[in-house]
Structure 1
Amino acid sequence: MNFLRFAARRLAEMAATLLGASFVIFGAMYLAPGNPASFLLSGRSASPDALKAINDQYHLDDPFAVQYLRWLGRVLQGDFGRSITYRTDVSRLLADRLPSTLLLVAMALVLVVVVGLLLGRLGAVRGGAADATILVTTTFAVGTPSFVAAVLLQGLFAVKLGWFPTSGTGDGLGDMLWHLTLPAVALALYLIGMLARVTRAAMLEILTQEHVTVARSRGMTERQVISRHVFRNALGTVLTTGGLIVSTLLICTVLVESAFSVGGIGQLLELSTTTKDFPTVQAISLIMVGLFMTVNLVVDLLHPLVDPRVTLGSRRSAV
């Protein structure tokens, strides 16, 4: 029952936050410099009647409150409006492009979790030269922005060696995975270094605690101590970075998709921002906020299962 009450409360908070975020997103677009009508006219002069027709079609002259409430009502029905740039429904644009972005983010997330946890655990347990090598490697990874990693990987493995495609998403699942391999690595590199360092620091702290010494004195093997008492307890701290990891992936995918010409919502967001395509920018921004909040909700619900010392509604601070 406590779990259900906590989940219901977090869902209510999520809905309220999304409502506030929708107001901020719509307001930011409303106050942004420039006018969508100027893009529709492609720089050509227009008669007052033609300009009025455009403003009436897209309701650009309505008061802010009227525009916001009309937009919010459509969004609640799954209608994000009509793209000014592409002259089609925003929902259709998102349906065509969202799968590529979700697959790219999922591939990058798998790389971050598997490689980051493995390197962090290896560095904490092995120590010595292995730990030093991992520290140097993760320092390099953390210091490499995603767009720099994208350029380097594309130049070496796609252009020079020809092992991977230089751009696009391919056709079919297998081809898509092949096309998105380099973008996923570029997207994950920074976060792999960050997660490895967080995991290493958390495990080193737990290794010095009394219950680890007691477990060793009872005759448990070192592997059992690491798995049951060190690594598992460290996962609680690592889990608190889940929201940060996903938010970083969503933000950096804009740069990576542009570098590799991946037809996802990241590249669509960049193009829509440039052309003042307000409905598309608003829809993508709201979706990204919703995804980020969903991940935070999942992290909150999983945290007590990973670390029994944490109760619902509380979190340990990350190392």
Structure 2
Amino acid sequence: MAATLLVASFAVFGAMYLAPGSPAGFLLSGRSASPEALAAISARYHLDDPFAVRYLRWLGDMVQGDFGRSLTYRTEVSRLLADRLPTTLMLITMALCVVLVAGILLGRIAAVRGGAVDTTVLVATTFAVGTPSFVAAVLLQGLFAVELGWFPSSGTGDGLLDRIRHLTLPAVALALYLIGMLARVTRAAMLDAFDSDHVTSARGRGVPERLVIRRHVLRNALGTVLTTGGLIVSTLLVCTILVETAFSIGGIGQLLELSTSTKDFPTVQAISLIIVALFMAVNLIVDLVLPLVDPRVTLGTRGGTA
């Protein structure tokens, strides 16, 4: 993880300097400036230092928790992240809960019931997978916020309950695509488990069907479902930028979009590296939990080593 973060930090830092324009041009807001003024701005923000020097200085500050100073907001990036990160984490948590509950439940129903129910779930999940998050955001806003007035169309609200109410539509818009994907993965994994020998043996011993589904089919399918956890979280982290912008939510997704358009290098680099770190942490957790859900992973590794 340390090596991957190091490579990612170099890519994040270097990519910003490949973009057209410059921070100095933004700071001047289109006004003309003398060479002396440009030199003063470059010296203040270390823009005239060699690339390697700027990268090593930035990396050293990041390790110490210093994300630099925002060029747009004229304040510390760490303060911006502290104000906005909790909102984004709450939105992602709500969306993840919706994805896990709805996705696994729909996949289980489709695999167990079959027939018309299975076809209905497949059609519904096809629609969900084919609907981008920003399209879902517009549709949900128009129906439940504008027409019905059940939920607010923007903002984050005050207090826990009001914040949950404000984040409900964004969470559903963020989760819709992933619900369809997870339902299909769960359905396919359970159908594959139904054909395994141990399920046939359990049925032959007279084990009740509900216990067969819970202990032998669903539990074996959870290993496949869990491996998609990294993909689900990474998709949530990326799509939250579009959803937060559509619903005017003051999270790090909207902050990243605004900072990118204004070439606020320190803010973009800090948020990008945090997203990479969160994605890696989720994959590490999945790798650690997977042997607990499916012991065959550990047994297979030991067998391969032997």
TM-score between the two structures when normalised by the length of structure 2: 0.97
CA deviation string 1:224-282 (max 9, x = no partner): 00000000000001111000000000000000000000000000000000000010000
1:312 Cα deviation after fit: 8.4
Counterpart residue number, 1:117: 104
Q: Unpaired segments of 5 or more residues in structure 1? A: 1-13, 315-319
1:31 Cα deviation after fit: 2.1
Alignment of 1:1-319 (within 5 A): 14-311=1-298
Letter of the 1:39 partner, please give it: F
Counterpart residue number, 2:304: none
In the alignment, the residues of structure 1 paired with residue 163 and residue 198 of structure 2 have an alpha-carbon distance, to the nearest angstrom, of: 47
What count of residue pairs does the alignment treat as equivalent? 301
Question: 1:312/1:220 Cα in 2 relative to 1: closer, same or farther (>3 Å)?
Answer: closer
CA deviation string 1:113-161 (max 9, x = no partner): 0110000001000111111111111110000000000000001100111
In the alignment, the residues of structure 2 paired with residue 62 and residue 312 of structure 1 have an alpha-carbon distance, to the nearest angstrom, of: 53
1:47 Cα deviation after fit: 1.1
Question: 1:211/1:127 Cα in 2 relative to 1: closer, same or farther (>3 Å)?
Answer: same
Q: Does the CA contact (< 8 Å) of 1:30 and 1:64 recur in 2?
A: no
Letter of the 1:273 partner, please give it: T
In the alignment, the residues of structure 1 paired with residue 4 and residue 136 of structure 2 have an alpha-carbon distance, to the nearest angstrom, of: 34
Structure 1: 4+ residue segments shifted above 6 A = none
In the alignment, the residues of structure 1 paired with residue 61 and residue 297 of structure 2 have an alpha-carbon distance, to the nearest angstrom, of: 40
Letter of the 1:284 partner, please give it: I
Letter of the 1:173 partner, please give it: L
In the alignment, the residues of structure 2 paired with residue 141 and residue 309 of structure 1 have an alpha-carbon distance, to the nearest angstrom, of: 33
Question: 1:60/1:313 Cα in 2 relative to 1: closer, same or farther (>3 Å)?
Answer: farther
Q: Does the CA contact (< 8 Å) of 1:164 and 1:179 recur in 2?
A: yes
Q: Name the SS for the 1:165 alignment partner.
A: coil
Q: Does the CA contact (< 8 Å) of 1:158 and 1:164 recur in 2?
A: yes
Letter of the 1:47 partner, please give it: S
Letter of the 1:187 partner, please give it: L
Letter of the 2:202 partner, please give it: A
In the alignment, the residues of structure 1 paired with residue 196 and residue 42 of structure 2 have an alpha-carbon distance, to the nearest angstrom, of: 67
1:24 Cα deviation after fit: 0.6
Q: Larger deviation: 59-68 or 48-57? A: 48-57
In the alignment, the residues of structure 2 paired with residue 290 and residue 164 of structure 1 have an alpha-carbon distance, to the nearest angstrom, of: 33
Identity %: 79
Question: 1:313/1:249 Cα in 2 relative to 1: closer, same or farther (>3 Å)?
Answer: farther
In the alignment, the residues of structure 1 paired with residue 19 and residue 299 of structure 2 have an alpha-carbon distance, to the nearest angstrom, of: 40
Q: Unpaired segments of 5 or more residues in structure 2? A: 302-306
Letter of the 1:204 partner, please give it: L
